[in-house]
C-alpha cells in the first residue's frame, strides 16, 4: 500500500481529503459525489483555514 504524503489530511470522518500540490502552498479538497471524484481549491495556504473552507463547501452533503 502506498504511504500517505505529509501533504495529505483526511477530514470529515474520511469523507474528504485535503492535499497540497508540490508547486503551490494552497490546499485543495477532494471528495466523492454521485460516484465521481470532485476536486476543488480551498484558496487557503494554512491548513486550519483550509479545513474550515472545506466544511463551508458542505462536501459531506454532496
Cα 28 from Cα 43, distance rounded (Å): 8
Global model pTM greater than 0.85: no
pLDDT-derived band at 27 (thresholds 50, 70, 90) equals very high
Provide the pLDDT confidence category of residue 12 given band limits of 50, 70 and 90.
confident
pLDDT over 60 at 54, yes or no: yes
More confident residue, 17 or 4: 17
Closest CA to 39 of 24, 61, 17: 17
Extract the C-alpha cell encoding 42: 480551498
pLDDT value of residue 26? 96
Residue 50 · residue 38 · CB < 8 Å: no
Amino acid at each position: 500500500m502506498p504511504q500517505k504524503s505529509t501533504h495529505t489530511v483526511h477530514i470529515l470522518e474520511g469523507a474528504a481529503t485535503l492535499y497540497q500540490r508540490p508547486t503551490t502552498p494552497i490546499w485543495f479538497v477532494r471528495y466523492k459525489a454521485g460516484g465521481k471524484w470532485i476536486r476543488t481549491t480551498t484558496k487557503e495556504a494554512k491548513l486550519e483555514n483550509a479545513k474550515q473552507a472545506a466544511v463551508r463547501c458542505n462536501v459531506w452533503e454532496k
